[in-house]
Amino acid sequence: MKQTTTIDKGLTEPYQINMGPQHPATHGVLNLLLTIDGEIIKKVEPDLGYIHRSIEKMCERDSYQQIVHLTDRMDYLSSNINNEAVCLTVENALQLEIPERVKVIRTIIGELTRISSHCLWWGVMGMDVGALSTFFYGFRDREMLNDIFEETCGARLTMNYNVPGGLMLDIHPNFVKRVKKFIAHFKTKIPEYDRLLTQNVIFQKRTKGVGVLSKEDAISFGVSGPVARASGYSCDVRKYHPYSALDKVKFNECLKTEGDTFARYQVRIMELWESMSIVEQLIDNIPEGEHRVKTNAVIKLPKGEYYQKVETARGELGVYVISTGTKNPYRLKFRSPGFSNLSVLNHIAVGGKIGDLVATMATLDLVIPDIDR
Amino acid sequence: MTNEILQELIGSWFPNPEFDKISEVVAQSEKDEISEESVESPTPINPCLLEFSEEASQFLNITVQPEQFYTLMSQLKTNEQTQFNYLFCLTGVDWGEELGVVYHLESTIHRHIVVVKVKTKDREHPSLDSVYDIWATAEFHEREVFDFFGIKFNNHPNLKRLFLTEDWDGFPLRKDYVDEINMVIK
Amino acid sequence: MTISIININYNLISSIMLEESMSILNMILVALGYLGFFAVAGLFLVLMERRVAAWFQLRVGPNRVGFQGILQTMADALKLISKELTGTVKADKFLYNLAPYFVIVTALMGLAVFPFTKDIQAFDINIGIFFLIAISSIGVIGILLGGWASNNKFALIGAMRSGVQTISYELSIGLSLLTMILLTGSLQLSEIVEVQKSGWLIVQGHVPAIIAFMIYMIAGTAETNRAPFDMVEAESELGAGFHTEYSGMKFAYFFLAEFINMFIIAAIATTVFFGAWLSPFGITESLPWLGVFWFLGKTLLLVFLMMWFRWTFPRLRVDQLLTLEWKYLLPINLVNIVIMALIVWLNLTIQF
């Protein structure tokens, strides 16, 4: 009798494995300390900071123009939207009148960035559940966008196209033509995505009912973006706090109520269509005008506090600036979507299998520099 | 709900006992018809324990003392008329003399926003109440603030350093943090 | 009829040596011939996989080393041979080093019994199919050993998954082949081919044979631990699974064994369902040496099918994998055997 108890004690010892920081499914240097029982996950504890550069501290010593450049390196897949967030904060604080042309171009490029980010996510999502080929299909379409970005501003990933007061350069003469060509191309490709992955029985079995997040939990955990919308929580910043030219376009907020991995997948696919429709509405009538308004060489924000939120491809990015009237912010906080989205992982992954955790993490669409900052 | 109504409502939860006393005194003195000179109120006394301000910010700001902080937060979440159920930003701030935390709250039902600020003068052992049981997102964000500002959150279930290593010396986002090797100062 | 290569050697050497030592020498020569050929064939399969993958993924694939990249995998193999063999400190050294040989030796052993043509068959044993099934299940011991002995948590999970998976799918392989044995009445591979001269078994057995083939291919893919059943490696879940801690040539053994196993699974299917070296409708009956071409052609077609699976399907989850086997494939298989038995009993087979 005594012996059996000792054996039982031995069996219930937690089996801990380190998933990451060099693990294919964590998409970067994220370390998850998993406590597992066979295949079943008992606890997920993220260990962060492998790529922490303390961007917030760096912002306190930099001028506002310089801060824009740092934001690229946070969520590098929606770099343009991050830039836009800081620029909008500064412009609102200075109460600058931004030309319509700038607003429209910012919105178009923002939505193209979103498409590009979702393309990459789709490829990686397929790869995480084991369909390796999707990665290349996603990248094929993203490549066209990257070429457009490169022609527009010279960079493919960290774009730095926005400056406080407008855009760094005017758009390239080919821009409109190439964007239209891309939209026409991409419209034929999303059905291909569906045939390859969405309709696959194995994929649906892997994702349906996995990692379910209820609406209440989504709100309580501060989850935003497609992850929250898949749980039926309507939170699109573009709808509730429209910025740039988003108040002039019509689009639907993509909502699902299931809250599982497959719903999150579907929301992102739906967002591809919505983003394309936004671009289509704007691309034909980009107003003429200046691409930049003059600002002082040294930007000093009036004393006060400013908060600006934008919707990146991952969710709600907030920029909170406390200014004391000098050329540097006194305190600048980035409320990054990935950080809050990661915090929900332990809640929704526990009880699932290791394979479920990977699928769930893929649809949370984490970008690690965005979490670590 | 407009900011004025919110201010009135939230203010009514925390009446200032001294204000009542003074208003009684004022009422008394008016009755007695004592001349204006003798009624001395050098600083206007706040009718409640919270401070409201709207200047230099696009939202309604509430400053609260650490003692009333937790009660206020749970009230804000549970009250039918406020229902601030979405904590979208939690920021640690070093105000020089004081350390504090700024909470940005939104209601997904009423779609109104308030900002709650809480400050503590104790820079050596600052501690505030944790709100992780009101908003689950606070658990991670409070760990971040603890990591960078050294503010301890009472009742927090897992208050460990989040980004930095356990043996890291100091709290980097405080204004008085010095690191001559790793920090580039212009 | 089976031993013609051996005979050639036999005649060559019989003038020099004693009879007993000659037969041993014969065996060694044949074994070396097979080894050399299949080591190269395995490398060719790796190249084929890479080109097929590239084709599915809008890429070109390796095409620089030699004509159309034909020497690419040779170069890779040379690189792997020259690499340092690293390992963990706390590994069980003996078992750790033994594991790759278990895997590669069993893979190569299986090749001995295949009839590439009427004449090229090294070992025509009368329990051929049984031998193949038995040999292929030994390989899993190597994987279990490798995963356990390398003292890595991910590798251990991978190895345990492999054990669960291989043991389950072994059943389906056995039973689906048993279905076909009902038609041939013999386990000997040469006899199975002989029976198919009046129509390939997949035609003879029509509906149940097709079902058996489908089950066989699913189980066979699982048996070789390839996507969508690559639980064992599952790079997005376990890093590299059971061979995480292996490097250099030891890793190459695992890698090569996977491809040879894939070849074996396809070759069994070719032999049992598609008439081995028999040409379709007997079009090249007068040229028996073309049998090699037909055998390899059919096998590579099936290998291509397995590669097609790999590059399009997502991976199953571990519990779904077991559900598929125990709740679907196994019952279907059992019913299928009964149907096949009825068909054979009532003489409903299609024969030309």
* Domain annotation covers residue C205: yes
- Do the Cβ atoms of B102 and A56 come within 8 Å? no
Q: Nearest chain A residue to C56 by CA: give it.
A: A133
* Domain annotation covers residue C13: no
Residue A9 — pLDDT band, cuts 50, 70, 90? low
Contact by Cβ (8 Å): C147, C155? yes
Q: Nearest chain B residue to A50 by CA: give it.
A: B163
Among residues of chain C, what percentage have pLDDT more than 70? 95
Supply B55's token pair.
């200047």
Contact by Cβ (8 Å): A113, A313? yes
Convert the pLDDT of each residue in C44-100 to its tens digit. Answer: 888 888 899 898 888 888 888 888 888 888 888 888 888 888 877 888 888 888 888
Q: What angle do CA C182, C184, C189 make, to 5 degrees?
A: 125
> What average pLDDT does range A286-290 have in this prediction?
84
- The pairing of strands B127-129 and B152-154 is parallel
Beta strands in A129-241 (DSSP E): 162-163, 166-167
- Do the Cβ atoms of A353 and C318 come within 8 Å? yes
* pLDDT score for C2: 46
| Total Cβ atoms within 10 A of residue C77 | 19
> What average pLDDT does range C319-327 have in this prediction?
89
- Do the Cβ atoms of C316 and A126 come within 8 Å? no
Length of chain C (residues)? 352
Task: Supply the Cα-derived Rg of chain C in whole angstroms.
Answer: 21
Q: A50 to chain C, minimum CA–CA distance in Å?
A: 19
* pLDDT score for C335: 93
- Do the Cβ atoms of B104 and A318 come within 8 Å? yes
Query: Does the pLDDT at position B21 exceed 70?
Result: no
Question: Does ipTM surpass 0.95 in this model?
Answer: no
Identify the domain containing residue C116 by its residue range: 88-345
* Domain annotation covers residue C58: no
Q: Could you identify the residue written with the tokens 């993924």?
A: C57
* Domain annotation covers residue B147: yes
Task: Supply the Cα-derived Rg of chain B in whole angstroms.
Answer: 20
Task: Supply the Cα-derived Rg of chain A in whole angstroms.
Answer: 22
C-alpha span between C100 and C71 (Å, rounded): 24
Q: B44 to chain A, minimum CA–CA distance in Å?
A: 23
Supply C187's token pair.
């386990």
Contact by Cβ (8 Å): A101, A293? no
* Domain annotation covers residue B171: no
Strand, helix or coil for residue C276:
coil
> What average pLDDT does range A74-102 have in this prediction?
88
Number of helices followed by number of strands (H, E) in chain A? 16, 8
Query: Does the pLDDT at position B24 exceed 80?
Result: no
Q: A332 to chain B, minimum CA–CA distance in Å?
A: 9
C-alpha span between B19 and B28 (Å, rounded): 14
Residue C31 — pLDDT band, cuts 50, 70, 90? confident
- Directed axis angle between helix A175-193 and helix A134-153, to 10°? 170
> What average pLDDT does range A173-186 have in this prediction?
89
Name chain C contacts of A123, Cβ cutoff 8 Å.
none
Q: B165 to chain A, minimum CA–CA distance in Å?
A: 8
* Domain annotation covers residue B102: yes
- Residue A91 Ramachandran class (φ > 0 left, ψ -120 to 50 alpha, else beta): alpha
- In sequence order, which ranges of chain C are alpha helices (DSSP H)? 4-14, 19-56, 72-82, 93-110, 128-149, 153-184, 189-195, 201-204, 206-223, 235-238, 248-273, 291-312, 318-323, 330-345
* pLDDT score for C334: 92
Q: A306 to chain B, minimum CA–CA distance in Å?
A: 6
Identify the domain containing residue B131 by its residue range: 3-32+43-154
Name chain C contacts of A34, Cβ cutoff 8 Å.
none
The CATH number given to whatever domain includes residue B87 is 3.30.460.80
User: Within an 8 Å CB–CB cutoff, is residue B135 touching chain A?
Assistant: yes
By the 10 Å C-beta count (0-12 exposed, 13-18 middle, 19+ buried), A334 is classed as: buried
C-alpha span between B75 and B49 (Å, rounded): 15
C-alpha span between C143 and C225 (Å, rounded): 11
- Out of A75-79, C118-122, C163-167, pick the least confident: C118-122
Q: Nearest chain C residue to A27 by CA: give it.
A: C236
* Domain annotation covers residue C338: yes
CATH number among 1.10.540.10, 3.90.650.10, 1.10.645.10, 3.40.50.300, domain A54-372: 1.10.645.10
Residue B117, strand partner residues = B63, B102
Number of domains, chain B:
1
| Cα within 13 Å of Cα(C207), Cβ side | 11
Q: Which of B91, B97, B144 is nearest to B117 (CA)?
A: B91
Chains C and A are in contact, defined as 3 or more C-beta pairs closer than 8 angstroms? yes
User: Within an 8 Å CB–CB cutoff, is residue B178 touching chain A?
Assistant: no
List residues in chain A touching C: CB distance below 8 A: 15, 17, 23-25, 39, 126-133, 135-137, 140, 196-197, 200, 202-203, 205-206, 353-356, 358
- The pairing of strands B60-64 and B113-120 is parallel
Contact by Cβ (8 Å): C272, C217? no
Convert the pLDDT of each residue in C188-200 to its tens digit. Answer: 888 888 888 887 8
User: Within an 8 Å CB–CB cutoff, is residue C316 touching chain A?
Assistant: yes
Number of domains, chain C:
1
> What average pLDDT does range A171-192 have in this prediction?
89
Query: Does the pLDDT at position B34 exceed 60?
Result: no
Residues 43-82 of chain B whose Cβ lies under 8 A from any Cβ of chain A: 55-59, 61
Q: Which helix (H) or strand (E) covers residue A94, if one does?
A: helix A79-94
Residue C215 — pLDDT band, cuts 50, 70, 90? very high
* Domain annotation covers residue C196: yes
